[in-house]
Chain A
Amino acid sequence: MAKPKKTTIIGVGVLLGFLFILPGITAHTAVLHIMIWIYVYSVLCGTFRFATMTGDWSFAHVGVMAVGAYTSMLLTMKLGWSVWPSMVVSGLVALVVALVVYSLSLVTRAVTFFWVTWAFGEMIRQVFARFEVPFGGHKGVPGIPGPVISIPGILEIGFETQMSYYYVGLLLAIAIFVLMYLIERSRVGLTFKSINENWELAESLGVNVFGYRLLALGIASFLVGVNGSFYAHWIHFLSPADFGIAFGLLVLLYVVVGGSKTIWGPVIGVTLFILLGRVFLSRLEEYIMAVYGLILMVTLAFFREGLESLPERIIPWLKEGFSRTRKEARGGTS
Chain B
Amino acid sequence: MALLEIREITKRFGGLTALDQVSFDIDPGEIMGLIGPNGSGKSTLINVITGTYKPTDGRIVFKGRDVTGLKPHVTARAGIGRSFQLSALFKEFTVLDTMRLAFHLQSGVGFCGAVINTRTTAAKEKETDRKAMEFLEFLGIDHARDELTKTLPHGLERLLGVGMAMATGGEMLLLDEPVTGMNPTETDEMMQMIRAIRDRGATILVVEHNMRVIMGLCDRIAALNFGQKIAEGTPDHVREHREVIEAYLGTEEEGVA
Contact = CB atoms under 8 A, between A and B. Distances in A.
A119 interface: no
Interface stretch (A25-33, A192-200, A288-296, A321-329): A192-200
Contacts of B100: 187, 190
A8 interface: no
A215 interface: yes
Nearest to B169: A206
A45 to B, nearest CB: 22
A318 interface: no
B115 A183 contact: yes
B81 A182 contact: no
User: Would you call the interface of chain B mostly helix, strand, loop, or mixed?
Assistant: helix
B72 A203 contact: yes
Which among A182, A197, A206, A207 has the greatest number of chain B C-beta atoms within 10 A? A206
A188 B115 contact: yes
A198 B98 CA distance: 11
B101 A190 contact: yes
Which among A1, A187, A191 has the greatest number of chain B C-beta atoms within 10 A? A187
B248 interface: no
Interface of B: 50, 52, 71-73, 76-77, 81-82, 84, 88-93, 97, 100-102, 104-105, 107, 109, 111, 114-115, 117, 125, 164-165, 167-168
Given A187-B101, A204-B72, A209-B73, 20 more contacts: A183-B115, A186-B114, A187-B109, A188-B111, A190-B100, A193-B93, A194-B93, A197-B92, A197-B93, A198-B90, A201-B84, A201-B90, A203-B73, A203-B76, A204-B81, A205-B101, A205-B164, A206-B104, A206-B105, A207-B104
Interface of A: 1, 182-183, 186-188, 190-191, 193-194, 197-198, 200-209, 211, 215
8 contacts: A190-B100, A190-B101, A198-B91, A200-B84, A201-B84, A203-B72, A204-B50, A204-B84
